[in-house]
Amino acid sequence: MVVNALLIGVHVLASLILILFILLHAGRGGGLSDMFGGVSGASLAGSTVVERNLDRMTVITSLVFMFTTVLLSLRLT
């Protein structure tokens, strides 16, 4: 019972963080790098360090979300 509550808490936290990270990603222009004073010409040369780290954090958070989804589905059935 405590494990289910812990999994649900981690799942909700991961979902909220995942929403935040997805909203921080760049759209057609700008994005996170422009919000912190990045130059738009720098985005043509490739992604900045901040954007790469945001990509990594998004992937890690999505893996945690996926893992907790599978665990919850196995434990609650």
| Least confident interval from 32-36, 40-44, 53-57 | 40-44
Output the DSSP codes for the chain.
-HHHHHHHHHHHHHHHHHHHHHHHS--SS--HHHHTT--GGGGGS---HHHHHHHHHHHHHHHHHHHHHHHHHHH--
Q: pLDDT tens digits for 10-33?
A: 999 999 999 999 999 876 655 555
Q: Please give the DSSP secondary-structure letter assigned to residue 77.
A: -
pLDDT of residue 67: 97
Q: What is the pTM of this model?
A: 0.73
Residue 48's contacts (CB-CB under 8 Å, 6 or more residues apart) are: 33, 38, 42
Tell me the domain boundaries of the chain: 47-77
